[in-house]
Copies of this chain bind each other. A is one copy, B any other.
Amino acid sequence: MTGKGMDIEKLLEWLKKYDLTELTVRDGKFLVTLKKESHAAPFPRQPLLGIDESGGSLASSARASEGGAVGLPAVPAETAGWHEVKAPLVGTFYRAPSPDAEPFVEEGDRVDINDKLCIVEAMKIMNEIESPVRGIVREICPGNKDTVEFGQVLFRIEERE
């Protein structure tokens, strides 16, 4: 069997048809490997703070001491073009300036550049996070009081004039 001239679609068909998890096509110098990506990642995935970028909180992703693999929630496809506002530091996420106050923003709200979005509290210091873009808040990812890690997505904003 030679890999030359054999198109991938053909191989993909075989994969599906025969329910293969791996298909290797070899010809002298070259090797083509087709794998069905299983749910198990190459390394047993454990939920990490921050790998889950769709808004998982620390509370929800704290893992058992020797817990098993957990699937990661998929990012909805339509979010692809939205602007992501990420946590610039580790801390606790607050949607409002005080427990009794209204949230800074809700999903669907229109925001302008430098509008306040939330507070991330770290070591008793309240860090206000402002919007870097103009648009509509499509998603507020962490829950109120969730812990967020560096780089975790806090908001998804559809940019609009």
Q: Which residues of A contact B (CB under 8 A)?
A: 3-9, 11-12, 15, 25, 29-37
Contact = CB atoms under 8 A, between A and B. Distances in A.
Contacts of A5: 7-9
Which DSSP category, helix, strand, loop or mixed, fits chain A's interface?
A: mixed
Contacts of A9: 4-5
Contacts of A8: 3-8, 25, 32
Contacts of A32: 8, 11, 32-34
Q: Identify the interface centre among A11, A15, A32: most chain B CB within 10 Å of its CB.
A: A32
**A-B CB proximity, top 5 nearest:** A7-B7, A33-B33, A31-B35, A3-B8, A31-B37
Nearest to A34: B32
